[in-house]
A and B are shown apart, each in its own frame.
Chain A
Amino acid sequence: MDFYTQSSVFVGLIVLIPLLSSVIVGLLGGIPWKNAPRMSGAVAGVVASGSIFVSFALSLILFSKLGSESKVVIEYLAFPWIEVGEFSIPMKFRFDNLSGLLCMIITGIGFLIHVYSIGYMHDDKNPQRYFCYLNLFSASMLILVLGASLPILFIGWEGVGLCSYLLIGFWFEDEAKAAAGKKAFIVNRIGDVGFLVGIFLTYATFRTLDFMELREMSEGLSPYAVITVITICLFIGATGKSAQLPLFVWLPDAMAGPTPVSALIHAATMVTAGVYLCCRLGFMYSLAPLTSNIILHVALGTAFVSATIAIVQNDIKKVLAYSTVSQLGFMFVAVGVGAYWVAVFHLMTHAFFKALMFLGSGSVIHAMGGEQDMRKMGGLKEYMPVTTWTFAVGTLAISGTPFFSGFFSKDEILWQTFSSPLGGVIPYLIMLSTAAMTATYMTRLFCMTFLGECRVDKKTKDHLHESPQIITIPLMVLAVFAALGGFLGFPHFIGGETIPNWMHHFLVGVVPDSLGHGTHTQEYALLAVSIIAAGTAMGLTYLFFTKGEEKSEVSHIPTDFAIPSGTKNFLSNSYYLNELYNVIFVRPLSAASSFLWKVVDVVLIDGLILSTARLARFSGQFARGIQTGVLEHYLLVVVFGFVAVAAWALATTL
């Protein structure tokens, strides 16, 4: 087999192996067949993790063949899928620099999370089902990034949505958890309508849905209205999946799922699908300045709003959830200002540090016996050193501490926002304040959970312990990446030729180059400003909480920021968006539906139909009245009839 054929088959296998593993684990372990031996949870975990590892290894082999700025593309045509006349959608997968990088992230982090899950789900009743879903998710996510055309991407898009639904509601006996899964699915579906319309319009315009062909066709095109509409439609899809305003309401609820799921699906991979979509179609988005502008504003709003909400949350996972929404906003800001490679860069670093922190919070929740309220934690540093230190790395990374991964990617976004012709000073200031808030809420989380006095109740305290190695080792691996991952995109103005910006070189062959440029002085100045902002925020918060702890000996509740209770309620209820949607969408829909059924269907339509039946019966009854059964009556009618006919005949003949 020559290199190309072999690589091509590898691309197919990357998707197929987790998919097969999911089916096997599901059939042999997930389904409770009577009288049949069942795959144990541990075996299911090992099979599932193993399949992802194979995918990772294959991705790594292919990834090593890709070069910077080169246009190596490895395609695998599985089979023709939908083919009707000229409308042809082959089941084709394409491995290039962008999808390759994403594959590495998905399978790499995915593998760690699978392994972690073996430990995390150890005590669960049905880990086989869990691993079946998790594998299916990985396969769908790989289809999403490898898909060579919009509909294939959409298969993955819906597949990850399904797995998200199944995994959020994994503990379905809890009604609220099942409801959260349903909500996630439905809110995503609203976005999906936009996505579908985008696909339809793309086909109607270009008569193809393949990314490469679309790219060739849009080269040299000047911006025009249809592209703007297409890109807006697809962005609507992205707002659903990537939890942007106004559709982000599902993501905080999605935290009902097992914590590793939150790490993999609701932080590292699925929720970034929208960002991936925009970058994949960067050539189109760069032709639509209006769309970019819309994206910028939506993303700024999302980043800022969710950061404000994150500050007042007390549930450790909710803080991370709102933080994820906010960070996704960061990525979309990068998309909005035309810096697609920066969006992908931040996608990657965020995947490292946020997966790390979610897994860390999982470790905490595991140790706390399911408790998620940070007010009942504190001082866990003493009990869980590995979790604490790895979590600290994540906190430093997301807050933008120099040389940690988040620092490079976040700062690149800030720089591009400032210097791109699509950005500006005001967006930059909003982003800067959001970055400061990020540092604030993450430091608050860290202090409340790991530092200060231990507020854990007696019973739980006896069981507090560091998690087993199967959980801590993935944390340590991720911590390394969260710390160092940023060097892959080392800023050019500092690194020059000695430390090249690998990320930039690697991606600009696939996505349009970023637009921002300015003097080195400006770059240094901005860098300094953001270091100061993040540093001040972290320092002050740290001091506040460590000092505050001393004061609050009595109440056992740490002093929190003095936010007026009205504002606090407003924030902690996420701006009452759920309530608003209930009033303007959910309730009118059920009222209208009841009306359609009980009035239109039953009374109007059926009433009308039945009244024709009644008419028939009524006329029948009337006619029956004539049928007296008395012979004389009939005779009388006959006579009258005869006379009448005779009279008529006479009248006409005469």
Chain B
Amino acid sequence: MVSLFDKHLITILIFSPVFWAICCLFFNKKNTQLLRVFSIIASSVTFLLSCLLWKRFDIHSADIQLAERIEWMPDFGISYFVGIDGLSLLLVLLSTFLVPIIFLSSWNYISSKVKAYTALFFLLEAGMIGAFVSLDVFLFYIFWEAMLVPMFFIVGVWGGPKRIYAASKFMLYTIAGSLPMLIAIIYLIWQYKSQFGVFSASIIDLYQVSMPMDGFFSAQSLVFWAFCLAFAIKVPMFPLHTWLPDAHVQAPTGGSVILAGVLLKLGIYGFMRFAVPVAAEAALVYSDFFLVISVFAIIYGACVAFVQTDIKKLVAYSSVSHMGYIVLGLFSFNQIGVTGSIYQMLSHGISTGTLFLLVGILYERYHTREISVFGGLAKLLPLYTIVMVIATMSSIALPGTNGFIGEFMILQGAFLANWPVAIAGGAGVVLGAVYMLWLCQRILFGKLKTPDEKVRLDLNMREVAYLAPMIASIFIMGIYPRPFIQRMEKSVDYFVTNGLSADYSLNVQYVSDLRSGSGKKSSIVKR
């Protein structure tokens, strides 16, 4: 048993939600309370498992750690190959951290088909973890697409009135992006075969593929853009973001939290793990384009958020703006910027997640999200107001909250890379405060105004219970960011110093390598 955990921790982590999903099937459909309790406990177990990753992770190494590999389709070099490094570790933890919170928040919100909802959410979690830890492009692609299905149903079944439209738009948009990526993946595998004589779908091998880069229509550039399209839609980057507001507004609270918290980050992660190192030259050539468009997204998202009339849509557009920062940090390609970028992914997951939870709480009470029907809630809901103000401060990057650390590093990094862009990005600092504080003022302050005079409930214990970890994370990550930064430091350093050269290569520390006769020496690290 112990050795199983030693050797297959990541696999256990990926498939534990699948196991929970199967368990769900054996529950009585009527006994929803029991199912809810189960979902919370089970997802917490998965979170605790992921904490083992945090514990086992060696912060002094930039290698892929705890890697597991087993042959799957050896004829095409496809293997089940998973592992983590500083780029993915914290994102996995973010995913597993958010899921129990979402289950707790869905207690009353999801009242029909609870069993299906729970099972689908577990499958979604498995897909997310799998996508973050996959080191085989084929495996990655499978997880990447597998996530769509549960998300499609979560929006399409438990969503708002226009849920079918939103779910289809989300699905089609994403698939439109992933198909070019699939072509690029196949092309890469084929190129590897022609250059090295064997098939491999391991991303670490595929980094070695050399492709000509001269002009937009050269192979490397096309591969880069094919990956970029998929990832840019996921992020989403301007102008490919129009699926996001619809999906958010229609999705149930839990769907919105996971969408903003984790799914969008997969896009950025994809850039870091796949698009940029595979096509480093192209990434460098086009980095200015990305810097400019991300700054545009920061300002554009903030402006559009400013004029929204629906709270959830406002938060959705604020995500477009925040994701702009994250792309900005990534494409500054220096240690400060990329660290800030990853840090901001975590922060944004927490702060925007909290905001979506808060919108959900309001919706549960009043069945509307129109800003104009609310006012002066601070008088009626003091606890709610405190949490809302803290989440707002985190969102507008006030020092002492997690938002500041990421945004500050991103802007400092961007400034070192391209100062005019960073200064333009600074406009987001003002605009962010404008739309968030204006939102607060309209719904929290002034004369009391609610759509339903009878409902005067402040946060209950359950709501406090799931908001408390979010608030705690906001402050912990804002005041003492060191443990988080330390865990990404080596990998990011390695990424920015080597990731943009043609011969980028990552060492792999296997805990379990079950390939037969591959002829490759693999280091099995006993821990």
Contact = CB atoms under 8 A, between A and B. Distances in A.
Interface stretch (B131-139, B185-193, B422-430): B422-430
A594 B239 CA distance: 17
A186 B412 contact: no
Interface stretch (A60-68, A191-199, A410-418): A191-199
Interface stretch (A153-161, A215-223, A477-485, A537-545): A153-161
B415 A593 contact: no
B179 interface: no
Interface stretch (B44-52, B102-110, B199-207, B438-446): B438-446
Contacts of A203: 412, 415-416
A189 interface: yes
Contacts of A224: none
B426 A159 contact: no
A622 interface: no
Nearest to B399: A155
Nearest to A177: B445
A189 B336 CA distance: 23
A192 B398 CA distance: 11
Interface string B394-417: 000011100011001101100110
**Which label, helix, strand, loop or mixed, suits the secondary structure of the B interface?**
helix
A165 B389 CA distance: 11
A601 B482 CA distance: 39
A123 B300 CA distance: 46
A83 B482 contact: yes
B157 interface: no
Contacts of A403: none
A178 B445 contact: yes
A169 B339 CA distance: 36
Interface stretch (A492-500, A605-613, A629-637): A605-613
B300 A596 contact: yes
A199 B409 CA distance: 11
Interface in A30-74: 31-32, 34
A169 B437 CA distance: 12
A175 B383 CA distance: 20
**Which label, helix, strand, loop or mixed, suits the secondary structure of the A interface?**
helix
Interface string B193-237: 000000000000000000000000000000000000000000000
B433 A84 contact: no
Contacts of A200: 411-412, 415-416, 419, 422
A82 B481 contact: yes
B307 A173 contact: no
Interface stretch (B9-17, B268-276, B345-353, B374-382): B374-382
Nearest to B173: A609
Contacts of A201: 415, 419
B335 interface: yes
Nearest to B432: A189
B307 A84 contact: no
B58 interface: no
Nearest to B416: A204
A162 B438 CA distance: 15
A524 interface: no
A82 B419 contact: no
Contacts of A82: 405, 408-409, 481, 485
Contact of A605 (B242, B378, B389, B489): B242
B239 A589 contact: no
Interface in B453-512: 458, 480-482, 485, 489, 492-493
B441 A179 contact: yes
Interface in B292-337: 300, 303-304, 306-308, 335-336
A79 interface: yes
B467 to A, nearest CB: 13
Contacts of B446: 172-175, 178
Nearest to A136: B400
Interface residues of A, number: 53
B113 interface: no
Contacts of A80: 482
A76 B381 CA distance: 40
B149 interface: no
A151 interface: yes
Contacts of B358: none
B399 A173 contact: no
B25 interface: no
A193 B379 CA distance: 33
A151 B408 contact: yes
B376 A173 contact: yes
Nearest to A140: B400
B419 A204 contact: yes
Nearest to B385: A172
Interface in A556-603: 589-590, 592-594, 596-597, 600-601
Contact of A172 (B242, B426, B429, B444): B444
Given A82-B481, A173-B376, A597-B308, A186 B419 contact: no
A155 B400 CA distance: 7
Contacts of B481: 81-82
B60 to A, nearest CB: 14
A103 B404 CA distance: 26
B438 A189 contact: no
B172 interface: yes
Contacts of B393: 162
B225 to A, nearest CB: 18
A189 B411 contact: no
A158 B445 CA distance: 22
A159 B401 CA distance: 11
Given A31-B383, A162-B393, A596-B300, A204 B445 contact: no
A32 B382 CA distance: 7
A613 B242 CA distance: 14
Contacts of A185: 433, 437
Interface in A200-241: 200-201, 203-204
Interface in A134-166: 151, 154-155, 158-159, 162, 165-166
A601 B307 contact: no
A192 B429 contact: yes
B399 A158 contact: yes
B447 A175 contact: yes
B485 A159 contact: no
B23 interface: no
A158 B304 contact: no
Contact of B335 (A87, A166, A178, A601): A87
A182 interface: yes
Contacts of A508: none
B361 interface: no
B434 interface: yes
Contacts of B419: 200-201, 204
Contacts of B172: 613
B448 interface: yes
Contacts of A31: 382-383, 386
Nearest to A157: B399
Contact of B400 (A159, A165, A593, A600): A159
Contacts of A159: 398-400
Nearest to A86: B335
B482 A197 contact: no
B313 to A, nearest CB: 9
Contacts of B447: 173, 175
A85 interface: yes
Given A83-B485, A158-B399, A590-B306, A196 B426 contact: yes
Q: Which 6 A-B pairs have the closest CB atoms?
A: A178-B445, A175-B446, A200-B415, A593-B303, A155-B399, A172-B445
Interface of A: 31-32, 34, 79-85, 87, 151, 154-155, 158-159, 162, 165-166, 169, 172-175, 178-179, 182, 185-186, 189-190, 192-193, 196-197, 199-201, 203-204, 589-590, 592-594, 596-597, 600-601, 605-606, 609, 613
28 contacts: A31-B382, A32-B383, A79-B480, A83-B485, A84-B339, A87-B335, A87-B336, A151-B399, A155-B399, A155-B400, A158-B399, A172-B444, A175-B447, A185-B433, A186-B433, A186-B434, A189-B430, A193-B423, A193-B427, A196-B426, A197-B415, A197-B426, A204-B416, A204-B419, A590-B306, A593-B307, A601-B304, A605-B242
